Amino acid sequence: MLIGQEVTIVGGGIGGLAAALALAARGAVVTVLEQAPRITEVGAGIQISPNGWRVLQALGVADQLAALSPRSQAVRLRDFRRGAEVFTMPLTRQDQPWHLVHRADLVELLAQEAEARGVTIRLGARVAAITPGPMATELTLADGRVERHGLTIAADGLHSPARLALNPKSRPFFTGQVAWRCIIPVAEPMAPEAHVFMGPGRHVVRYPLRDRRLVNIVAVEERDGWAAEGWQHRDDPARLSRAFTDFCPELRDMLDRAEDVFLWGLFRHPVAQVWQDHRLALLGDAAHPTLPFLAQGANMALEDAYVLARCLSEEPETRSALARYEALRRPRCARVVQAANDNAGNYHLRPGPLRFAAHTALRAAQRFAPHVVTGKFDWVHRFDVTA
């Protein structure tokens, strides 16, 4: 049971704040340790698919977020050179809402709601090491202080010390792909759709945010040269433009206007073999980092948060609750991560028989059996952890 139980969450991102909100709603006394001096996020967009949106509805923040983020009407796959549509997946079902969300808006909303429910957020508290134990979890902060906490949730991302403590042999590897991320203002509101421009060894995802006068760009390129992992490495906008000079003018003109550009290397991390021990559990990217080819990173973290809170509220003992959480989440997250891995090459086919056959098949499916393609990932998007 969670009534009055103290819980510490390491990480004030989407997963950590959603977990704080879900736990506080069930009576826990929650403290979030966030390394940044203030709750903020790098300007970036995310797609919240129906499985993640259901969690936001259950947490009571969906209506507020809907007022800040356009509801997506379609995903359009397009040829890189001419911009011609290859396949369009409509997203108009009323019971399957998709939203195009500015990450900062969601983080700010979750933080406000968490604090309104009594969650304490400690800023500037960077955790350098975590040691699990049977009675308490030991946290070593960057300033050298050592603190002992009870139940601790590590929602601190790719480089989580808790992940390393529980999985010391887990090592990522560079995929040979890098991604640029930027937000570009536009004069006229864009259609609330996600467009994927597919090219040889490269692709670009584009969709609007907020009032549809901001456009989120994620541009991926295959390359031999390694790039650092992490979202906050700035790059020269000219490099982004040069990488896509042979794409259609519609997209190229937009990329030429990019000013504030971030670059990161895409690394493949194995799903953690161990998610919990004693009074410590992993959540979100700390447990299952995923490549950005299925738009499920934030959605999986939201699912984790809800399931973890439910398990802790329903199980009489913490250890059995954490074991149940891992048993429920690990198989699904592993399948989603693998699907994202498999999807990586689908956008990057080079000119030739394989690309021609693949695009011809998509166009034929669009005309004669669109449900074959649109239903491929129903197992991801129609899943409901709140049911």
The token pair at 26 is 């069930």
Over the stretch 225-250, which tens digit does the pLDDT of each residue have? 666 656 567 899 999 999 999 999 99
Over the stretch 322-360, which tens digit does the pLDDT of each residue have? 999 999 999 999 999 999 988 877 788 777 767 767 767
Name all contacts of 61-65 with Cβ < 8 Å and 24+ positions apart: 61/21, 61/109, 61/110, 61/113, 64/109, 65/99, 65/101, 65/105, 65/106, 65/109
pLDDT of residue 365: 65
What is the identity of the amino acid at 146? V
Query: Helical H runs in 60-211?
Result: 62-66, 103-116, 161-166
pLDDT of residue 176: 87
* Residue appearing with tokens 């028989």: 353
10 Å Cβ neighbour count for 22? 26
Helices and strands: H and E segment counts in the chain: 12, 19
Query: Cα 225 to chain center, whole Å?
Result: 25
Measured over the CA atoms of residue 165, residue 271, residue 328 and residue 19, the dihedral's sign is positive
Pick from 17, 132, 10, 33: nearest CA to 65: 17
What is the identity of the amino acid at 53? W
Residues identified as active-site: 207
Residue 304: C-alpha distances to residues 53, 81, 82 (Å): 13, 40, 41
Task: Tell me if residue 92 falls in helix, strand or coil.
Answer: coil
What is the identity of the amino acid at 352? G
Rounded Cα distance between 52 and 110, Å, is 14
Length reported for the chain: 387
Largest distance between two CA atoms of the chain? 64
Residue 267: C-alpha distances to residues 20, 57, 231, 236 (Å): 28, 32, 12, 21
DSSP tag of 71: B
* Tens digits of pLDDT across the chain (387 residues): 688 899 999 999 999 999 999 999 999 999 999 998 887 766 689 999 999 999 999 999 999 999 999 999 999 999 999 999 999 988 988 788 999 999 999 999 999 999 999 999 999 999 999 999 998 999 999 999 999 999 999 999 988 999 999 999 888 888 889 999 999 999 999 999 999 999 999 999 999 999 999 999 999 999 876 666 565 678 999 999 999 999 999 999 999 999 999 998 888 889 999 999 989 999 999 999 999 999 999 999 999 999 999 999 999 999 999 999 999 999 999 999 999 988 877 788 777 767 767 767 777 767 766 666 667 899 999 999 999
pLDDT of residue 69: 96
DSSP tag of 98: -
Rounded Cα distance between 127 and 136, Å, is 16
Residue 315: C-alpha distances to residues 42, 227, 284 (Å): 37, 44, 21
Pick from 154, 127, 156, 130: nearest CA to 143: 127
Residue 367: C-alpha distances to residues 75, 195, 196, 269 (Å): 16, 19, 19, 38
